Amino acid sequence: MMYPEQLLIPMRQELTRLGVEELKTVAEVDAKLADQKGTALVVVNSVCGCAARNARPAVAMALQHAVKPDVSTTVFAGQDREATDRARGYFVGYPPSSPSIALMKDGDVVFMLERYQIEGRSATDIAADLTRAFDRYCARQPA
């Protein structure tokens, strides 16, 4: 079921106002994730309560951390279907999940939070998981 776009604008803006780039087409997803070097956060956004209560606030908290991915992106499940399906195609070994949050490094998923790891947990706990992953995979190595 497609929701009216007007209803989704605030849900989209919760992430885009943080500088998270929204990917609405297959071409946009491929431009960011195909042959990707460095680290990329990919948030599969959703209208569900656990996205509103847990996932989006956790991403907002985590992106305040000193260490962050090189790029932060989002697709909207159930709305921008082709873009979401394409993004999920990069999550090798993980079934579709909404919401979900993937951290990719050089094109491979190195950390994933699926719905079952988001639902029922606090945004603070999820943000802590994300910042630990950022510290592990996004920290610059000394030259």
Known catalytic residues are 48, 50
Q: Which two tokens stand for residue 88?
A: 């999920």
- Confirm if 45 and 54 have CB atoms less than 8 A apart: no
Q: Which two tokens stand for residue 119?
A: 């639902």
Q: Within 10 A of 113 (CB to CB), how many other CB atoms are there?
A: 23
Q: Within 10 A of 4 (CB to CB), how many other CB atoms are there?
A: 7
